[in-house]
A and B are shown apart, each in its own frame.
Chain A
């Protein structure tokens, strides 16, 4: 058996609070994009977001946190998803094996920082939130809630962060440094991010349309997802059910521009190429590509070109972006899409690329626009981030 075993998954996103709910939304075209309600912003009437329709108070109650907790929204959704993953994997004693946690986030507890920034000096009761700004705070909160004592670390490479967390986790298992690792990412919506993307002029005021000729940009989203990876020894010892395997991974840098992708998609091409090398698979063996597909003019062009370079004269497999459902959930995106990739393998489906109308004029790539049932052995999932950070994961049937 090639690849690292996935034995548990957990997710909370704008299309569902569990793995089951997310899957139903994906196959029934239930999108999570709407007007923003949890954050007060002057852009509320312009932008559309993939928001988890739970207030912080509801999340606190659900997690059973004390009133003196200092959880950011990101830490709360992260903890919910990680707890689901651990439960789904049937783990009862978290430190029984050498267990780690590799998390991903873009701005950590920024949602609390921006809310209280100028009030800290006036309101001593808020001072507890200063510490949650730290990028590592989310992972440490999750570790504490899980009682996990071993290695905990966080990766932040913008929108490819969770792919890199999954990649590192798989390498730690493969090299025998860990027996078990919880990997994934969390990002709550924040004014900081909304305004950042707004200034870059890559937010769409309409529903995002990946790989469409008239695409106008992305919708931001919030989500958290975690997966449990385990060594074959642990799987055999505990007779565990393997949901799917991480069979390939690759990371490369576009080295072109801080926020834009190169026109020929060098970084994306190299990341996919490496992932194929690691997996030993040929491009033609991929049954479904879950593209990064943010629906910005730049990303889809660059990613499309890179895919064309990988497939050359061969047929490009069925592909779709699931961001019309969830929005772009930044550092969490690759973990969300890892869960969707595993579900595609388990249920033998290709999800529709919603909102697509017209093929891009630069190439002849048409995404799968309706739900398609077919045997799925291998899924390739792309995630690219600022700083030219490009990552590819390949998931395979166990």
Chain B
């Protein structure tokens, strides 16, 4: 059984009558990547600030790497944080910035120099170590921020929107770094609005809405529990659309709608009388795919609606109610 590195019990933060975080309880283990999701104002940043000791809880308690919340300085020794909208001193170089933070964690000048050099290389900034941060791109600053969060070999790393505003290549690079951090045994709490990222690298998710936990489980379980999958999007070459219509015409309980004939995009819907299911998920859509494949039609994509985390997210939060 992996070690519990992060545990929150009924954690609440109130601002007057408003609860920013309300009764948050969860457990994360060593090596987990926990996706922290929720609409704007759901309490994600407040949760990270509570767990990183920047804010004091109104009620409840938590522990990080076995250290209880009433010892904040010790917790700060064991965590690394990339805050939301972190600022960077424009006049310092990347190396100087990391060296300074390493020394704040008690490293000697020589140790700080070594750690800064290693981390800059790990996040791919080794070619810009002596450049002023003012000249860094947004992606480079985010990677520098992640390097700073790792300066003390933390047991738990909190990343608040690490890929915000990055291009796809920058996002991929940051996600690769997150994966590496978890593989080394640290627990990562990843707050993000980019749900495909969560599906890709998170072992579990925590969905917040109005400060309350509405789901806390593995990505698969959360998705399965939330959504009834009754439609699928199929894309084939435009010239094959006729063949697909022919293949699916003989299947009972299915309806085929063209979303865009010219692009070969089609939607397959289940009839109301569908009853074949596996763990509550209808299986007739598999029959549709099989029929298309039997006709030897090249399938460019086949995606069951409601099988994605974003569908679960919208179902569970007020975002979906809008």
To the question of whether A and B form a pair in one complex, the answer is: no
Interface residues in chain B, defined as those with a beta carbon under 8 Å from any beta carbon in chain A: none
Interface residues in chain A, defined as those with a beta carbon under 8 Å from any beta carbon in chain B: none
